[in-house]
Structure 1
Amino acid sequence: MGDLTADRLQVGIGASEHSDGREAGAAAARAACADLNGRRPDLVLVFASVRYDLAAVLAGINSVTGGAPLAGASSSGHLHAGTLTQPGEGLAVLALASTDYRFGVASVTEVGANSFHAGRELARAARTAAGTDRLPHEALLVLSDGLTGDQQELLNGIHRVTGVAVPVVGGAAGDDRRLARTYVMRDGEVFSDAAVAVWIGSPRPLTVVSGHGWQPTGLPLLVTGVDGPVVREISGRPALEVYREHFRFDNPMCEIPSDRDGGYHSAHAFGLIQPDGQLLIRGAFVDDEGQLRTFAPLPAYAAVQVVSCGPDDLLDVGDATLADALDGADASVALVFSCVARLDILAGRSAEEAQRLQKIAGEVPTFGFYTYGEFARTTSVVGYHNATIAAVIL
């Protein structure tokens, strides 16, 4: 896979659903490294189900790669070269080798205690790890604990180091929809309440793109009462009552079932209205106490719209997003980060996303995972999303 000439990015992908973590990691790594033309990888990415002993997975991978720099996350499903691996199954490994690129891997812990500080230190450490030989184009790949800390504050800290010149892309780790504990990985270590980043230096432009496909179902509303992630009032009225009033009743997924846990996202969400008029999607659900919650807090007195979507909306915007990323790019691999909310809404059509993305990419392999939130920050500080697809081309 990819262009195997010496001065280009060499790409290898492997996957395994072996029941033993070490064996699965080793098998996927062998398959990935087989495409590197005999080279040791300069970077390894791994996305894996939490059903595995993740430390054993890393031991298996490192036994093949010789301890090459590694970053990874637990997932809620992953995709590779047109194939979807459903939540609760398997792992996938991407191996990259190039004399043209520079990769610096770093990690921070205790993200929940001070997400801004953690983001700032993470970006600094990753930049340092990439070395002083700076290349004309750079980006930061971020993988974070999906259940701890303030993801936007993590990005705010990163922005203090990168500014607008270095785009950020990535995703928050999942745990097969269990919503119990998520993990990130660096080299041979597994962390929770942590984040991992890869500073990428490239001779070619690194364009980060994102899209969501959600459409407003009503006029703008004002958030008048919030308690962290709990939305209590909208326009001075009970939030859940207002939220339900904006459901599209022709949509068979319009109701929020009470028998599904918090990993379930309905086909409705909030669109946080940005200064340029664009919508930043915030997934919403009803908790066990009957409270309306979002996965990232809505600011008090923020302007929002209730938004909705269907499977075709999500598939079409995925196609358009990846096509936009590939436009004019000298591509070797497309890294994709898609929300598990999208997978839930696609339901019986979930495999179509991976297939269609690979069709758009042509001979360029696709690789990514299903997240608990996506990072796609380009020209502003804001860049944490829900129910969105993000991509970067290497």
Structure 2
Amino acid sequence: MPTSRITTAISHNPDADQAVAEIQQQLGSQLSALMCFCSSRYDLTRLGAALHAAFSCPILGCTTAGEIHHAAGYVEGSLVAMGFGPGAVCLDPVLIQPLANDAQGALASQVHRRILESADPDFALLLCDGLSGCEEYLIAAVQHSLGRVPVIGGSAGDDGRFAQTHVYYQGHFHSNAAVLGLCRSSLQPETLQTQHFRPSPRKLVITEAEVDQRLVREIDGIPAARAYAAAIGCQAHELDTAAFAAHPLMLRLGGRWFVRSVQQRHDDDSLTFYCAIDQGLVLTLGEAEDLSGKVQADLNALQQKPGSIAGIIAFDCILRRIDAMSHGQLGRLGATLSDYPIVGMSSYGEQCHGIHVNHTMTGLVLRGAI
């Protein structure tokens, strides 16, 4: 029976009930809290019921665009989990539903009210429907209400189908919803954020956009896909997820560079983005550095800091997985995680420091006795 304060587990079993049974066997049942990330290929009704029946502790989880486990690397079609032993974490999951772009004030009030009802947390984890388009104001509302409490989050995925994503709450998986996990713990939280792009000299200006839809119709006065394709040296019809992953756009905010990645090209040559955009925004084409090397360097830097790393919960943008796959580097990228107790997912977006971003690995590092 596992006795560590933090333990991890993985199941590749496609059957929901058997997958949960395998996770329970690896973690045991004496847990104070559980984090889990699952492929959207599972029967989510059965999976939700099985999780609720197997574990009496609070659970935080969602569907993914691929799963991450330090011993297995980057996987698909699986269930991964991180279990917290007795006394390690006190988790209070808060369901936020529904999500709506036209009700931002009401949502902010709902978030603030629910946070006030909870004990003062040491850190918080936010899981959000990755197709809601609500991440920007949701993370802003949460961070505003929590003040200096670190909040890390990820946007749920659906294995790249972009049809429907889900978050888990009390035995059921929900769409058009978010779950905020308010956590008290003796473990010391620290944020992790790594990206592997630097700005190039090439600038592009959004000249027509539907902001609420994250849809860009024109860049530099011509159809968006044509302008973007010309900037990266291809034709609009050649644009695909690998091209978007290799050539993100960047935005400078508060002295820092953030990635603004393209999600999809449409038949009319408009582009949908993963993050908020606006008309008149000046974006910069990004240039890639070594992805695996950057992750390794940033994890090594974490290791050099005082205090042993007990666990890392990671939200890694789906575009990073796609980029690594297209260059035959996914195995190498996964190997960089093997020396660290990491569990997480490939996400449709990441939240950190009150901002929704993408094309990053964003995570929560927990330090303390293992």
Bucket of the pairwise TM-score, normalised by the shorter protein: 0.7 to 0.9
TM-score with structure 2 setting the length: 0.87
Distance across 2 between alignment mates of 1:303 and 1:2: 52
Tell me the secondary structure at the aligned position of residue 336 of structure 2: helix
The residue aligned with 1:283 is: 261
The residue aligned with 2:125 is: 141
The residue aligned with 2:279 is: 300
User: After the TM superposition, which residues 181-330 of structure 1 pair with which residues of structure 2 at under 5 Å, given as runs?
Assistant: 181-228=164-211, 229-247=214-232, 258=238, 265-276=244-255, 278-284=256-262, 285-309=264-288, 313-326=290-303, 327-330=305-308
Tell me the secondary structure at the aligned position of residue 138 of structure 2: helix
- Do residues 45 (structure 1) and 40 (structure 2) align? no
Distance 1:236 1:265, change over 3 A: closer
TM-score with structure 1 setting the length: 0.82
Deviations 1:27-75 (A, max 9, x none): 1122122xxxxx621111111111111221132233332x210110101
- How far apart are residue 244 of structure 1 and its match? 2.6
Give the counterpart letter for 1:242 in structure 2. A
- Do residues 389 (structure 1) and 361 (structure 2) align? yes
Give the counterpart letter for 1:322 in structure 2. L
- How far apart are residue 238 of structure 1 and its match? 4.1
| 8 Å contact from structure 1 (residues 29, 93) kept in 2 | no
Q: Which of 84, 94, 105 lines up with 2:93 in the alignment? A: 105
Give the counterpart letter for 1:91 in structure 2. L
Distance across 2 between alignment mates of 1:280 and 1:239: 20
Q: Which of 46, 49, 60 lines up with 1:56 in the alignment? A: 46
Distance 1:143 1:115, change over 3 A: farther
The residue aligned with 2:351 is: 375
Distance across 2 between alignment mates of 1:264 and 1:178: 17
Distance across 1 between alignment mates of 2:126 and 2:363: 12
Distance 1:236 1:290, change over 3 A: closer
The residue aligned with 2:317 is: 339
- How far apart are residue 84 of structure 1 and its match? 2.8
Task: Name the one with the larger strand percent.
Answer: 2
Distance across 2 between alignment mates of 1:116 and 1:141: 21
Give the counterpart letter for 2:20 in structure 1. G
Q: Which of 358, 373, 385 lines up with 2:338 in the alignment? A: 358
Alignment gaps of 5+ in structure 1: 5-9, 34-38
Tell me the secondary structure at the aligned position of residue 201 of structure 2: coil
- How far apart are residue 291 of structure 1 and its match? 1.3
Distance across 1 between alignment mates of 2:236 and 2:151: 33
Alignment gaps of 5+ in structure 2: none
Distance across 2 between alignment mates of 1:100 and 1:161: 24
- How far apart are residue 121 of structure 1 and its match? 2.9
- How far apart are residue 330 of structure 1 and its match? 3.5
Which moves more between the two structures, 118-127 or 324-333? 118-127
Name the % identity.
22
- How far apart are residue 199 of structure 1 and its match? 1.2
- How far apart are residue 115 of structure 1 and its match? 4.8
Give the counterpart letter for 1:156 in structure 2. A
Distance across 2 between alignment mates of 1:388 and 1:119: 26
Give the counterpart letter for 2:352 in structure 1. A
| 8 Å contact from structure 1 (residues 105, 198) kept in 2 | yes
Give the counterpart letter for 1:386 in structure 2. N
- How far apart are residue 151 of structure 1 and its match? 0.9
| 8 Å contact from structure 1 (residues 177, 263) kept in 2 | no
Q: What is the RMSD computed on CA atoms of the aligned residues? A: 2.6
